[in-house]
Amino acid sequence: MSDLHDALKTLGLHFLATNLDDLIERATKARLTPRQLFELITHEEIKDRARRSLERRRTRAQLGRFKPMSDYDWDWPKVIDRDLVESVLRLEFLQGPRNVVLRAAQGLGKTMIAQNIAHQAVLAGHSVLFTTATRMLMDLEAIHGTPHLFQQCLRKYTRVALLIVDEVGYLSYDTRAADLLFQVISERYEKRPTVLTTNMSFAEWPTIFPNASCTVALIDRIIHHADIIGIEGESYRRREAEAHKASRKKKPTAV
């Protein structure tokens, strides 16, 4: 039996190799015909491969923990195009492909929305990578002097079906970092969609990349085919913090 298990693994039938005895027992009890047994094996193997594929995509997406959109308070922002956000969550922008830019001050849920976009794309079978602008640029800069490794790293960001770059604008970057971001966006331009979140309007982007000559060209490639979603209002996190503080004040002091 060990030889049979090894042979099944060699053929890539990992679920069958692990659960062979159980499947045989189920088939025997149910008095399945040979055809029905093969149908059972095929169905279970396909289901297991889909599960493992989903787990791989989730791991590679690097999403981490996030709140589902069912927790989003649509009534809190003063300005938000809910129809457009829901269209993006349905992944309609992938057909273009189109970019998506979520612009809002801190605490209005742009990262949460971006994470849910990523999650929906993973569930739909797409390869996804979620990263912050700082993490991506540091990753590329660290091996820029090694051409082979740099190209390999660059492909990680340019070949993935959906790239989501969070927190563009929270820090300013030097000219080299601007050139690297431009290179990533240019490689993806009109080929694969990119989602970006930022706390700044495009008019303010020159302050993110001071002295960089490519800023205008970078913005042009991002917005040429893009849905730009502006969210305005006060910080939801600040509201939660103030509500928590108020509730603590109301609690009677123990005597």
138-167 pLDDT, tens digit each = 999 999 889 999 999 999 999 999 999 999
- Cross-strand bridge partners of residue 195: 100, 164
Q: Provide mean pLDDT across the span 26-34.
A: 90
In eight-state DSSP terms, residue 14 is H
Indicate the range of 6-15, 156-165, 170-179, 231-240 predicted with least confidence: 231-240
Q: What is the pLDDT of residue 244?
A: 57
Q: Please, which residues have CB within 8 angstroms of residue 121's CB and are 6 or more apart in sequence?
A: 91, 94, 128, 161, 162
Strand ranges of the sheet holding 226-231, from the earlier edge strand across to the other edge: 128-132, 162-168, 194-198, 99-104, 226-231
Mean pLDDT in residue range 102-107:
94
Confidence of residue 255 (pLDDT cuts 50, 70, 90): very low
Nearest to 113 by CA among 102, 122, 99: 102
- The region of weakest confidence among 15-19, 60-64, 242-246 is 242-246
Residue 29 has a CB neighbour count (10 Å cut-off) of 8
Provide the mean pLDDT of the chain: 91
**Residue bearing the bigger pLDDT, 134 or 209:** 134
**Assigned CATH topology for domain 69-239:** Rossmann fold (3.40.50)
More confident residue, 251 or 216: 216
Evaluate if residue 41 carries a pLDDT over 80: yes
3-state secondary structure 157-181: HHCCCEEEEEEECCCCCCHHHHHHH
pLDDT 10s digits, 200-220: 999 999 889 887 889 999 999
- Report residue 77 as tokens: 């922002």
Measured at the CA of 115, the angle between CA 113 and CA 116, to 5 degrees, comes to: 65
Query: What residues have CB less than 8 Å from 216, skipping those under 6 apart?
Result: none
pTM metric for this prediction: 0.83
Mean pLDDT, residues 174-181 taken together: 92
* Annotated domain spans of the chain: 2-60, 69-239
Tokens found for residue 84: 């457009």
Please give the pLDDT value at position 209: 86
pLDDT reported for residue 248: 64
For 98-153, the DSSP string reads -EEEEEE-TTSSHHHHHHHHHHHHHHTT--EEEEEHHHHHHHHHHTTT-HHHHHHH
